[in-house]
């Protein structure tokens, strides 16, 4: 047992029991207590180390305890912490300027605290067009607040909370003609993910986003791209839609932007940028300078260290390695950059997840038959290779157990 375990005052089982005693059960019981992280590695309450290929669900873009983020947060909180939206903080303005520079066009930014809130702001922008109808994709995930949930194309998540706000149609993801049929001059917005992360890293056919842009432009409908999981370098570009040269009216961000701190951002362009007026929307913590300082450190580090190119190379190494395994449990590898889905032969993802954890690797069984991989963007070649060795063993153990059970 390491010093990390001694410092917690509790092992894994004890900390888990404490969670169960005080926390609401909306998450169930998480599978592992973690107490320390450094780079791409984390440790549990008993000192066991794991290679982290979950990355806080694509949040920890620079890994854990990155010096640039630690320094930025420490310096900012020591000089100016929270000021509310009644006052201006320089890091907030600078981050908004930086995001618009990365987008390559003028616009306006609204900061929030999460991806769901970023999409909630987009929902309100849609309402302010004077139209009510909205369109999103079956299987899409846009958050759990009421407006974002209405746009989420997953009935099981929606059902307990109906009726939901808005007149929302859900169409098959990747089906251009279904999208064309659903969008009318009465449609306020179309919200799509460049890749559907929570649905198992589903990739649309080439040209889908370009078609969505053409369809929405023809009806004066806002195109909203939910880049919460795909943005800020996760696919090897600042925004995944840049791969197709698509410019949306609204882009939503969160997850990797804060490098582990909670932040959401809604970027609006053209006429959409002028729809939120004083009093129309807000948040006490909007643009908190400490969190904005962290986000600026993330952007600076990605740019300075050429991490976008690294993501492309590391993602290809990971994808190629998974395919080279030639394992009978692996049916397909899909995704982009360092957001990959390993599609399995059968609903065995939870068992593979556990077998990998037993070997010191954390992965995410995002659907019953898909393992999602979203390691920190700084993952090294050696760590990719280490992961592949452990993952092969986890697959083989799972296959052996499945065959024995059969």
Known catalytic residues are 141, 226, 255
Structure tokens belonging to residue 152? 């989420």
Residue 283 marked in a binding site? yes
**Is the Cα dihedral 187, 193, 197, 200 positive or negative?**
positive
Residue 141 marked in a binding site? yes
Residues 6+ apart with CB under 8 A from 78: none
Cis-peptide, bond into residue 163, ω within 30° of zero:
yes
Is 63:39 a contact under the CB 8 Å cutoff? yes
Q: Which residue has the tokens 């069984």?
A: 365
114: Cα within 13 Å, side-chain hemisphere: 9
Residue 324 marked in a binding site? no
Residue 226 marked in a binding site? yes
Strand order in the sheet with 34-38: 34-38, 41-44, 49-52, 361-362
Distances (CA, A) of 88 to 80, 82, 85, 242, 324: 11, 11, 7, 31, 53
Residue 144 marked in a binding site? yes
In DSSP terms, which residues pair with 179 in a beta bridge? none
Residue 252 marked in a binding site? no
Angle at Cα 301 formed by Cα 287 and Cα 309, nearest 5°?
Answer: 120
Residue 396 marked in a binding site? no
Residue 120 marked in a binding site? no
Structure tokens belonging to residue 8? 């917690």
Give the residue ranges of the annotated binding site for pyridoxal 5'-phosphate: 115-116, 141, 226-229, 284
Give the residue ranges of the annotated binding site for N(2)-acetyl-L-ornithine: 144, 283
Give the residue ranges of the annotated binding site: 115-116, 141, 144, 226-229, 283-284
């Amino acid at each position: 047992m390491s010093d990390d375990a001694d410092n917690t005052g509790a092992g894994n089982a004890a900390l888990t029991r404490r969670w169960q005693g005080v926390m609401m059960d909306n998450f169930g019981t998480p599978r592992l207590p973690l107490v320390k992280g450094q780079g791409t590695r984390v440790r549990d309450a008993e000192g066991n180390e794991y290679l982290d290929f979950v990355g806080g669900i694509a949040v920890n873009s620079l890994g854990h305890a990155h010096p640039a983020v630690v320094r930025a947060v420490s310096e900012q909180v020591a000089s100016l912490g929270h000021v509310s939206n009644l006052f201006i903080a320089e890091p907030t303005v600078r981050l908004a300027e930086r995001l618009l520079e990365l987008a390559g066009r003028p616009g306006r930014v609204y900061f929030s605290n999460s991806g769901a809130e970023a999409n909630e702001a987009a929902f309100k922008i849609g309402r302010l067009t004077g139209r009510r109808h909205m369109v999103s994709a079956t299987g899409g995930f846009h958050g759990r607040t009421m407006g974002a949930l209405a746009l989420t194309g997953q009935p099981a998540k929606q059902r307990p909370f109906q009726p939901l706000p808005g007149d929302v149609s859900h169409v098959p993801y990747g089906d251009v003609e279904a999208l064309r049929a659903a969008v009318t001059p009465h449609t306020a917005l179309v919200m799509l993910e460049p890749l559907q992360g929570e649905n198992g890293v589903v990739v649309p056919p080439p040209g889908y986003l370009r078609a969505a842009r053409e369809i929405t432009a023809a009806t004066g409908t806002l195109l909203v791209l939910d880049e919460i999981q795909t943005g800020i370098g996760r696919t090897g570009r600042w925004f995944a839609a840049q791969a197709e040269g698509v410019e949306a009216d609204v882009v939503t961000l969160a997850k990797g932007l804060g490098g582990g701190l909670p932040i959401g951002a809604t970027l609006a362009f053209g006429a959409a940028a002028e729809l939120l007026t004083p009093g129309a929307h807000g948040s006490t913590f909007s643009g908190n300078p400490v969190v904005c300082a962290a986000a600026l450190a993330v952007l600076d580090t990605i740019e300075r260290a050429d991490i976008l190119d690294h993501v492309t190379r590391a993602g290809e190494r990971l994808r190629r390695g998974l395919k080279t395994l030639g394992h009978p449990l692996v049916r397909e590898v899909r995704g982009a950059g360092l957001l990959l889905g390993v599609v399995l032969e059968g609903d065995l993802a939870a068992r593979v997840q556990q077998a990998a954890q037993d070997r010191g690797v954390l992965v995410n069984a995002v659907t019953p038959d898909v393992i999602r991989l979203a390691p920190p963007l700084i993952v090294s070649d050696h760590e990719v290779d280490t992961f592949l060795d452990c993952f092969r063993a986890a697959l083989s153990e799972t296959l052996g157990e499945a065959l024995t059970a059969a």
